[in-house]
Chain A
């Protein structure tokens, strides 16, 4: 039980590391996912192919393999960055594929008639997109994006094994200090529950505010 009270600093640092990884990787994933989703619905063939390849490959890549390739592979090309940045890169790119699919299916839920109606009212492409299509797509996209980001938070545990400071990695020093390993893991589990439940609480609020009324 006193594992936690004795090691506030260590657990705190681990939790902070996980939260940082999650936030930065989420931002990268949302931005990249948005770009890829717009590629996938673009009227330009080569961009569509690029988006499709990006999504299909990354969705079927084991995340450990991606970490392996990015963290140990990129330095071979002389790209030397802190490990945390590499981890954010790997996590963000991996998750962007799932975000892209969520956004794309959100856009596809908007009936074609909405766009046709907007255009027949004389709206330009930008107006159609920003006033009619995207607001409707945004509503149906909240739940899937939320669960994708929760998955991202859970996946960030892998980074610990590649010498990035995060929550799961704290078990090692604590184990060496001779604390009860079961309690160590109980508090790690509680930490992850805090992170995932907070994300789901945030998205519940968003869903209540802007979600599709059911």
Chain B
């Protein structure tokens, strides 16, 4: 809380006031949590009957199979959208106008469309199985977004690098594959992983086209009358797993980003903080 334009460093009285606010806020938050717990108990969500199905091996296997199907769709979608993204980015960076325009049109259209419209189109109009429909929709959307990430990554590499590569007599392909892409890849790795989180989250759309994924398995268990329709327990089991997976991937992205900020190669270009004492504009300024 030190480096913000909002507050000064608090003095003793402000600190005491903040402590009071903090206590009040904690009480309110705990109150909300208690109310939710009360609702859960009040509607008998913790009865043994509703939690019994989860000790059965068949049910556990069903959940695991659903999770496996989710991960399978994610793996296909991730690999294919990385490939499509690379292809489209190459198209957008091409010297040939037709290629560039086609790629641009493709990317802009699929970025503006809801993923679900694509998935439903493939599923309903082209009448394919749920898994290929889901993977196609996810690939088209995430591939287009990744193409933009790749393109901006390559463009963000210092101009001198490209010029130096050309000066050494490299062809465009060589300059790309040996000089620009390796450097760009480092810079955009966090953005790529964040987009993969989106892909992982969107695999849950398969539920809407009856793909037998994680949510689908949950729905089957939840609609079982023998266990007293254990919907809330199912949600309480499924969401931590699903959210946990996405969080792990998100944390990987932030970890990579942090590691890069620390790395020697990028540290060498980091701009030193401005020294105090340069009151005149421009005086002692090296970097713009």
Chain A residues in the interface with B (C-beta under 8 A): 41, 43-47, 50, 56-57, 59-65, 68-69, 72-73, 76-78, 107-108, 110-116, 119, 125, 128-129, 132-133, 154-158, 160-161, 168, 171, 175, 181-182, 185, 188-189, 192-193, 196-197
| A168:B120 contact, CB within 8 angstroms | yes
| A62:B6 contact, CB within 8 angstroms | no
| A41:B4 contact, CB within 8 angstroms | yes
Task: Point out the residue from A112, A155, A181 that lies within 8 Å of B114, measured CB to CB.
Answer: A155
Nearest-CB residue, chain A, relative to B1: A43
Extra contacts, 8 of them, besides A44-B18, A73-B231, A107-B5 (Cβ < 8 A), are A61-B201, A65-B238, A73-B232, A108-B4, A119-B8, A133-B6, A158-B205, A192-B112
Given contacts A65-B204, A189-B117, whether A115 and B6 have CB atoms under 8 Å apart is yes
Q: How far is the CB of A108 from chain B (nearest CB, A)?
A: 7
Q: Which of B39, B112, B203, B232 has the most CB of A within 10 A?
A: B112
Q: How far is the CB of B138 from chain A (nearest CB, A)?
A: 12
The complex places the Cα of A149 from the Cα of B173 at a distance, in Å, of 38
Given contacts A43-B18, A44-B18, A157-B114, whether A61 and B239 have CB atoms under 8 Å apart is yes
- The interface residues of chain A lying within 8 Å CB-to-CB of B6 are 41, 107, 115, 128-129, 133
Task: Point out the residue from B116, B120, B235 that lies within 8 Å of A68, measured CB to CB.
Answer: B235
| A60:B247 contact, CB within 8 angstroms | yes
Q: How far is the CB of A105 from chain B (nearest CB, A)?
A: 12
Q: How far is the CB of A129 from chain B (nearest CB, A)?
A: 7
- The interface residues of chain B lying within 8 Å CB-to-CB of A57 are 243
- The interface residues of chain B lying within 8 Å CB-to-CB of A64 are 204-205, 207-208, 215
Interface of B is mostly: helix
Subset of 28 A-B contacts with CB under 8 Å:
A41-B6, A43-B14, A43-B18, A46-B25, A46-B26, A47-B21, A47-B25, A63-B204, A65-B215, A72-B222, A73-B231, A76-B43, A76-B231, A77-B39, A110-B5, A111-B5, A113-B5, A115-B4, A125-B7, A129-B6, A133-B6, A154-B113, A157-B116, A168-B114, A171-B120, A185-B117, A185-B124, A192-B114
Q: Which of B10, B114, B219 has the most CB of A within 10 A?
A: B114
Nearest-CB residue, chain B, relative to A110: B5
Given contacts A168-B120, A196-B112, whether A45 and B22 have CB atoms under 8 Å apart is yes
Q: 8 Å CB contacts to A: which residues of B25-76?
A: 25-26, 29, 39, 43, 45
> At the interface, yes or no: B242 with Cβ under 8 Å from chain A?
yes
Query: How many residues of chain B get a CB closer than 8 Å to chain A's CBs?
Result: 51
| A77:B43 contact, CB within 8 angstroms | yes
| A61:B243 contact, CB within 8 angstroms | yes
The complex places the Cα of A185 from the Cα of B124 at a distance, in Å, of 10
The complex places the Cα of A111 from the Cα of B5 at a distance, in Å, of 6
Contact with A along B116-136 (1 / 0, CB 8 A): 110011001100000000000
| A61:B246 contact, CB within 8 angstroms | yes
The complex places the Cα of A69 from the Cα of B43 at a distance, in Å, of 16
Q: Which of B5, B114, B250 has the most CB of A within 10 A?
A: B5
Contact with A along B1-23 (1 / 0, CB 8 A): 10111111010001000100110
> At the interface, yes or no: B197 with Cβ under 8 Å from chain A?
yes
Task: Point out the residue from A62, A115, A168 that lies within 8 Å of B201, measured CB to CB.
Answer: A62
- The interface residues of chain A lying within 8 Å CB-to-CB of B212 are none
| A157:B117 contact, CB within 8 angstroms | yes
Closest 8 CB pairs of A and B: A115-B5, A62-B204, A60-B246, A64-B204, A154-B114, A157-B114, A62-B201, A157-B116
Nearest-CB residue, chain A, relative to B21: A44
Task: Point out the residue from A156, A168, A193 that lies within 8 Å of B112, measured CB to CB.
Answer: A193
Task: Point out the residue from A46, A168, A182 that lies within 8 Å of B125, measured CB to CB.
Answer: A182
- The interface residues of chain B lying within 8 Å CB-to-CB of A60 are 197, 201, 243, 246-247, 250
Task: Point out the residue from A43, A56, A133, A161 that lies within 8 Å of B208, measured CB to CB.
Answer: A161
Task: Point out the residue from B43, B113, B208, B238 that lies within 8 Å of A158, measured CB to CB.
Answer: B208
Q: How far is the CB of B284 from chain A (nearest CB, A)?
A: 17
Q: How far is the CB of B5 from chain A (nearest CB, A)?
A: 3
Q: How far is the CB of B201 from chain A (nearest CB, A)?
A: 4
- The interface residues of chain B lying within 8 Å CB-to-CB of A110 are 5
Nearest-CB residue, chain A, relative to B116: A157
| A158:B250 contact, CB within 8 angstroms | no
